[in-house]
Structure 1
Amino acid sequence: MNKRLTATQQLQRKVSEKIKYRLVLAYSLMLIGMGCLFDPLSTIFRGLWTISLSSNVLITDYIEIAGLGAAFVNSGLLTLLSVLVARGNKVKMSGPLIAALYTMSGFSFFGKNLLNSLTITLGVYLYAKCQKKPFSNYLIVSLFGTALAPAVSLVAFGSGLPLVPGILLGFLTGVTIGFVLPPLATQFLSFHQGFSLYNVGFTAGIIGMVFTAIMRMFKYDISNVYFVSSGNNLLLSIVLYVSFTGLFVIGWWLNERSFSGLSRIFHSSGKLVSDFATLEGYGVTLINMGMMGMAATSYVLLIGGQLSGAVIGGIYTVVGFSAYGCHLRNSIPIVLGVYLMALLTGGDPSDVSVLLTALFGTTLAPVAGYYGPVAGLLAGGLHMALVSNVGFLHGGVNLYNNGFSGGFIAAFLVPILDSFAKMKEARESQH
């Protein structure tokens, strides 16, 4: 064990923080560059304006409402700003930060923009100041907390208020959400015992549920929307496969041109906190991220799905959490459970809602990693059943709907699985 840790630490030292940050900066700039290739600047600026004024509730696909160029530039800008804030606060490029950055990037294709996200980050910043603690302690929570960005947009532009009062009230809403996020996120981790990776998604669901209840009490109608793009599979699959192959190759190179540590990642349960970047090294983590990205993209294409903005968001989120709990061994049973449940209930596995459930359902990967593939199949199937029913509670203002559902599934399943495991141990001890 000591030898393994020493070897891992040596690999970590060879990959400096400067290199790690340069890689994610390059990724951000790549997104912006791709957007500028897809559309002229005038079209992009119009698209960004459309994105900013949208309600952004689930599902608002930016490719559909604003075009490819604006969607990619929006994602690149938000990711770039997030990276710069993390760098400025000297936050270590760990698994949680990688997951947060890629999640921010992914959801910036359908729900997050500069206008509705920064207010939540400001709220978390004010909480840190009130606690007299460094903002760096809460930065990752602030990034994940932008799951509730649509609440800001909804109040600002969808509440029927005049523009200026609406924007001011939306700003106050975002700051308030950000302020209450950190203490709640810490408290709710124990609810699912670390078996749902999207912990802040569950927290955001609770806050979103309260927010939606208040809005409905004041007679404001909150309903989901459905703007989903299609017809871009060839172009977007090339972009995704090239970027994930790049991650894989760069990881292999940084890992001393080897796959050392990959088997240890595959044998990890993924239960929080499973920081692959710190435990096994940055290079092998990039290898795992590249593999998961290619696998997720291939799954979508093989079952005949469309690479919409929302689905790309799901793929990038899976890639991010491949630094923080996900790998092929614990994710495949979850995806397969969702797929089989869709078939059993007469659903279409290629439908965007089912695709998102399969991709984001990997929040429950630790269940499969800890209790085995059968438990993973069960978790995926139950997640498919629940996720479509919890969206009403938060009215689509929580972008991490699957994280909300996953928290309940983990809290429901884990005690039952634990009891069966104890009964099995008792029987074996008698023999």
Structure 2
Amino acid sequence: MGNVLPIPGPEWCDDGGAGAISDAGGLHLHQLRLHAEYGGVVRFQLPGAGVAVSVSDPLVLEQTARIDERPASLFAFLEPLCEAGNLQVIGAEEHGPWRRVLLEVFAGRPSHERHFGEFVSLVEEVAERWGGAGGDAVPLQKDLTALSLRMICAYALGGVGVGVGSEVVRAEDVVDAFEVVLSGDDGTEQQTSLDYLRSTVDRVIAAREESDRGADRSDLIGALLAAGTTPARIRDTVMVTMLAAHHTTGVAVSWTLHLLGRHPEVAERVAAELDRVLGERSAPDYGDLRELTYLEMVLKESMRLYPPGPYGAREATEDMVLDGADGTYEIPAGTTVFYPFWAVHMNPDHWPEPAKFVPERFTPEAVAQRSRFAYVPFGLGPRSCEGAGLAMVEAQLTLAVLLKRFRFRPVAGHEVTPVERFVLWAADDIPMVVTPRAVGD
């Protein structure tokens, strides 16, 4: 350990840092600028959190990975979805057991295999619709986030068109209501949709408790019931799962197709792999995914360049000493530790020519030579995304079905601009022209 240094950073501003972020063109560009000037650990003003310490050095990230608390103020926007306590900021003692139950489901092969056939059908519905587009551009983000929400509704509620007594809960109704809730518009319609979602999930939970599937631990609701989770906590878990899963998976696939459209040589290599593994089949089986190694590399490189969730944050629960490449720093308990995942993924010390799209960065040999904290698309530590494994299955499946059937071409003159929201969105969507392809084309 070297001499403890003050954490470097810019001068304080009366506006809480909002002006500096705006002047830079967004938080990501602001973070890149800060870390380029001050190093891998920077003190800065983060609106909503006051003073924060931003970390883009993977070796320092590793030293903070065990923190199991989040700053409540930055996650307050999720409170309308949670009546049994905000699941994203519940204390570590309560969070640990709940997380273990989720990992048992989300990370388990039985759960993935059970829902895989239904996922295939949902993706093929989109492919059929796109196949009839007649040369018109398709809106990737709009269609793929809707697809992702249908997938997670099927997963979290136990199936598309699940029956509740004499009533059938249609995934379309759940999707429509969720989109109204996420619109951000205050008012009667949003509250009505939120009430509908809560009552629907409650009725599904009650029906599952009475059925012989109530203790099916390969199913989200079943596993939570078997663990003795309260109905209110189960409902909140389902709601937050739908929120997190549908945005992240949809945008990850959208950005991947965007990059492939601009790198046709990579797209052709993906198509050749799909033809080799699938032959004449239009969709993979669950076991085929492990054979699609280049497709997985492409997806990972896409999430490096466009991480679906571009930021994370923790709250230090005790005084900490951080040893980085630029020095040794102390941060007191209560400090917001900010993780600019996008800036971590663009760190030139770990990613040569970081702006280039190079799927070969994710060969086993290349991965073995890098810090595992240089690539954190699903976060890190005990607050990392429980659904990472499921998200990868959904994304790889979706890409396999679509790239087996189509080539994707950018729309001339349309500029794709990333926008930093809850997830890394694109302003004005990502329209692309799809054309059919056959085996060997």
The higher-RCO structure (CA 8 Å, 6+ apart) is 2
Rg larger in 1 or in 2? 2
Q: Does TM, normalized by the shorter one, top 0.5? A: no
Identify the structure with the greater strand proportion. 2
Give TM-score scaled by structure 1 length: 0.29
Identify the structure with the greater helix proportion. 1
